[in-house]
Amino acid sequence: MLLNVKNDIREIDRVFTCIKEFCSTNGISEKKCFDILMIIDELATNIISYAFDDGQEHTFTVMVEKEKDMVHVRLSDAGIPFDPLNRIEPDTDASLESRKVGGLGIFFAKQLSQFISYERVGNKNQLDILVSLKEEE
């Protein structure tokens, strides 16, 4: 499935609907679907918020494919070069007072995926993510 998504936060709603449909068509459990939705939501939100700084409308793509016991997600945008995986991870042991608010989205995407990589391909940022469909106990 290939979705063309505009850099508008209201698009997230449509992305949710399409991904849920993809999961149900492919017999993916609700729990795994939650993980896939979260990974795509966090990464797509990042693209919508930061990839384009000219105030114009842009479109990026979200591809989702089922491959045996994996789901392959690819996000591709022609925004400013940015490797989101290169960020400092949040300190999940910090106290309430000192806990910082940023960096969690990428951290979640990493935690929930089996594999995640960033590559600048031509003028595009490309993120490839593999999510295992095996249910952990």
Smaller CB distance to another protein: residue 79 or 105? Answer: 105
Residue 116, C-beta contacts closer than 8 angstroms, at least 6 positions apart: 85, 109, 110, 127, 128, 129, 130
Q: Which C-beta is closer to another protein: that of 41 or that of 128?
A: 41
Q: Helix 30-46 crosses helix 11-25 at what angle (to 10 degrees)?
A: 150
**Residue with Cβ nearer another protein (26 or 111):** 111
* DSSP per position, 36-83: HHHHHHHHHHHIIIII--SSS--EEEEEEEEETTEEEEEEEE-SS---
Q: How far is the CB of 123 from another protein (least distance, A)?
A: 25
Contact residues toward another protein (CB under 8 A) are 9-10, 12-13, 16, 31, 34, 37-38, 41-42, 45, 48-49, 90-97, 99, 101-102, 104-105, 107-108, 111
| Least distance (Å) between residue 34 CB and another protein | 5
Q: Which is nearer to another protein, 49 or 117 (by Cβ)?
A: 49
